[in-house]
Amino acid sequence: MTEIRQDIERLLDLPTREARIDGLAVIERFRAGLNRGDFRAAEKVDGIWRANAWVKQGILVAFRIGENRDRDLSGELRFRDRDTLPLRRGGEGPRVVPGGSSIRDGVYVGDGVVCMPPMFINIGAWVDDHTMVDSHALVGSCAQIGKRVHVSAAAQIGGVLEPPGAVPVVVEDDVFVGGNCGVYEGVIVGERAVLAPGVLLTGGVTVYDLVHGRTYRRTSEAPLRIPPGAVVVPGTRPATGRFAADEGLALYAPVIVKYRDARTDAATSLEDALR
């Protein structure tokens, strides 16, 4: 890892043309290391998630030095993208059900991962063992997804590629992400949490915990974190001001209504049958 990191850091200081000449082989080795899980965009150290800035910088270098190239897959599917950012090759790896899914090269995908069509996983992401990425779902660049997670249909897991030092979106082990959810801007979802369909989590929202009578929000020192085992549903809170009161207006607010129990586990176990 030290050698590839040094190579990436060297490319950062080179003009684009020089970096491309020297860097194509480096980026290929870099993607291979991401595929194997030799290094990752963020990791948990002493209970705290920290970004590995040099990994995110490597992805940015790949974008910078890449040139757009037309590609033709089996005469049926055509696209145009950076030549330094190809799709992941076939062979051993996750179960990808036919129907238009794509995984970029440079993604760690663990054992037993299931990908339902169509879905997309971007470079730098980490998708751990026995996770399901369902139809029309997105796992963004550098997003960190734990073991046995269910990313339901049409859920959007943002990534956070820039700035390099920012922690990306993290979804820890055994989380259930309901349909049409969105998790963005470096939010961390604690293990075994459940996001009901339609929950939107960003760095700007306040989460209201009805169980413990407290709120959770992003601070200047830490991202928004959903507590382990929390069951989050879409809710509202009254908008302030006379006009809002007169019109009965309310603003979106995610609400923790309970913490995970045996009944919740039974309701979120559908993915077992789909494997």
Residue 273: per-residue pLDDT: 45
Q: In the structure, what pLDDT confidence band is assigned to residue 73 with cuts at 50, 70 and 90?
A: low
CA dist 219 and 196 (Å) reads: 24
Looking at residue 1, its pLDDT comes to: 76
Per DSSP, helices labelled H in the chain are: 2-12, 16-36, 53-65, 242-247, 262-267, 270-274
- Look up residue 85 and give its DSSP letter: S
Q: How far is CA 88 from CA 54, 102, 268, in A?
A: 22, 8, 30
- Residue 274 — very low, low, confident or very high, per pLDDT cuts 50/70/90? very low
Residue type, 19: A
Separation CA 148–CA 11 (nearest Å): 37
Sign of the CA dihedral 127, 166, 200, 172?
A: positive
- Tokens, residue 135: 């139809």
* Lookup: tokens for 105: 């090269």
Task: Please provide residue 272's backbone torsions phi and psi, each rounded to the nearest 5 degrees.
Answer: -60, -40
Pairwise CA distance, residues 261 & 192, whole Å: 10
Q: Place 110 in a pLDDT band, splitting at 50, 70 and 90.
A: very high
CA 75/CA 99 separation, integer angstroms: 16
CA distance 19 to 16: 5
Q: Give the chain's mean pLDDT.
A: 91
Distance between CA atoms of 5 and 189, rounded to whole angstroms?
Answer: 29
Position 101 scores a pLDDT of 87
pLDDT in tens, 136-176: 999 999 999 999 999 999 999 999 999 999 999 999 999 99
* pLDDT(85) > 90: no
CA distance 117 to 132: 11
Per-residue confidence band for 96, with pLDDT thresholds at 50, 70 and 90: confident
Question: Which domains are present in the chain?
Answer: 95-264 (2.160.10.10)
Give me the pLDDT at residue 275, please.
47
How confident is residue 80, by pLDDT bands cut at 50, 70 and 90? Answer: confident
* DSSP 8-state code for residue 20: H
Mean pLDDT across the stretch 200-229?
Answer: 97
Supply the pTM of this predicted model. 0.91
- In degrees and rounded to multiples of 5, residue 2 shows phi and psi of -60, -40
What lies within 8 Å, CB to CB, of 254 at 6+ separation is: 199, 200, 201, 205, 207, 208, 232, 233, 234, 235
Query: What's the pLDDT at 69?
Result: 86
Give strand pairing partners of 177. 151, 195
pLDDT, one tens digit per residue, over 217-260 is 999 999 999 999 999 999 999 999 999 999 999 999 999 999 99
